[in-house]
């Protein structure tokens, strides 16, 4: 009898032992395969499907600015109001992720793992195709929704002023801060993507926790920030040059490095280091079935 068998709790029936086995959290290799499979599916989507889904996501992310502005305008004007108003930041992320829309730094992260698993020129081409279409679609949606929120008679003056204050707070960062905070933001989104497959039943709470912390820390995100800063541009407080050079480029670079390179590379490396094999080769037959079932669900 092996040492592992000697350590088992005595008195368990065969069904109970099977239940114990089924209730174990998935191994890192299983999580890797789930995310890799999702990423491969994203890479196979048509340009039209990617574009419309990304555009919808950009529009939907306007909910984050909308919710924060509405909360700020109805809270006392002090620093503690951020603790409550930051909950509004999660609104856009919840809507986009639960609706399975294309969000840069979320869906685009999953697509990195297939490239790391098989780093061919063809896969790199598919990755950059996905990145460019999703980013352009997201930005088009954010610029449009920011214009609508400013120009249409939807909100009262106090709420409009709260929207401006949210954007001004983003632009208080210098280039180095935009970049550094973007790295942290990209890493946090990547952490969220890695956590969700193992805790699918708690998906809403994971999204809420991670994005709420992003708001509390004032970390910069290319999509949400585009709504906030473009609102300032449409209002005449900032120029498009400032939008692209002082906000968009450093934030985008930070998000990509923090999410797609640092986190994905480390996560891929830890799984591959188990035995030097590709992660999918480390899976047992039942684990491969589990990964397929989770992706199907």
Q: Check the CA dihedral 279-103-139-67 and report its sign.
A: negative
What is this structure's pTM?
Answer: 0.83
CATH of residue 281's domain is: 1.20.1080.10
Is 3 a member of any domain?
no
In order along its 297 residues, the chain shows pLDDT tens digits of: 444 455 566 655 665 455 545 555 566 667 777 777 888 888 899 999 999 999 999 999 999 999 999 999 999 988 889 999 999 999 999 999 999 999 998 877 788 888 877 888 998 999 999 999 999 999 999 999 999 999 999 999 999 999 999 999 999 999 999 999 999 999 999 889 888 887 888 999 999 999 999 999 999 999 999 999 999 999 999 999 999 999 999 999 999 999 877 666 666 666 656 555 555 554 444 444 444 554 555
Is 125 a member of any domain?
yes
Is 13 a member of any domain?
no
Q: Which two tokens stand for residue 160?
A: 């409009």
Work out the angle between the directed axes of helices 203-216 and 175-195 (0-180°, nearest 10).
Answer: 170
Element (H, E) at 264: helix 264-272
CA of residue 20 relative to chain centroid, distance: 32
Residues of the domain holding 239: 25-296
Phi-psi domain of 96 (left: phi exceeds 0; alpha: psi -120 through 50; beta: other): alpha
The phi and psi torsions of 118 (rounded to 5 degrees) equal -135, 80
Domain count, the chain: 1
């Amino acid at each position: 009898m092996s040492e592992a068998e000697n350590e088992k709790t005595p008195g368990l029936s065969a069904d109970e032992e099977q239940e114990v086995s089924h209730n174990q959290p998935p191994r890192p290799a299983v999580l890797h395969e789930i995310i890799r499979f999702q990423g491969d599916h994203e890479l196979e989507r048509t340009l039209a499907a990617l574009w419309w889904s990304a555009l919808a996501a950009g529009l939907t992310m306007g909910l984050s600015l909308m919710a924060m502005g509405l909360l700020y305008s109805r809270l006392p004007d002090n620093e503690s109001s951020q603790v409550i108003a930051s909950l509004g930041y999660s609104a856009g992320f919840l809507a986009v992720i639960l609706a399975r829309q294309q969000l840069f730094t979320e869906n685009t992260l999953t697509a990195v793992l297939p490239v790391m698993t098989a780093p061919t020129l063809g896969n790199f081409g598919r990755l950059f195709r996905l990145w460019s279409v999703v980013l352009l679609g997201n930005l088009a949606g954010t610029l449009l929704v920011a214009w609508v929120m400013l120009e249409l008679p939807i909100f009262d003056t106090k709420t409009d002023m709260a929207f401006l204050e949210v954007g001004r707070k983003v632009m208080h960062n210098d280039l180095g801060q935009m970049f550094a905070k973007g790295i942290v933001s990209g890493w946090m989104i990547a952490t969220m993507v890695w956590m969700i497959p193992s805790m699918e039943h708690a998906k809403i709470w994971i999204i809420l926790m991670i994005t709420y912390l992003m708001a509390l820390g004032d970390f910069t995100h290319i999509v949400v920030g585009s709504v906030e800063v473009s609102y300032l541009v449409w209002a005449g407080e900032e120029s498009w040059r400032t939008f692209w050079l002082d906000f968009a480029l450093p934030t985008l670079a930070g998000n990509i490095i923090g999410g797609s390179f640092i986190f994905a590379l480390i996560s891929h490396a830890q799984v591959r280091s188990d035995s030097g094999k590709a992660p999918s080769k480390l899976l047992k037959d039942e684990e491969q079935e589990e990964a397929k079932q989770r992706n199907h669900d």
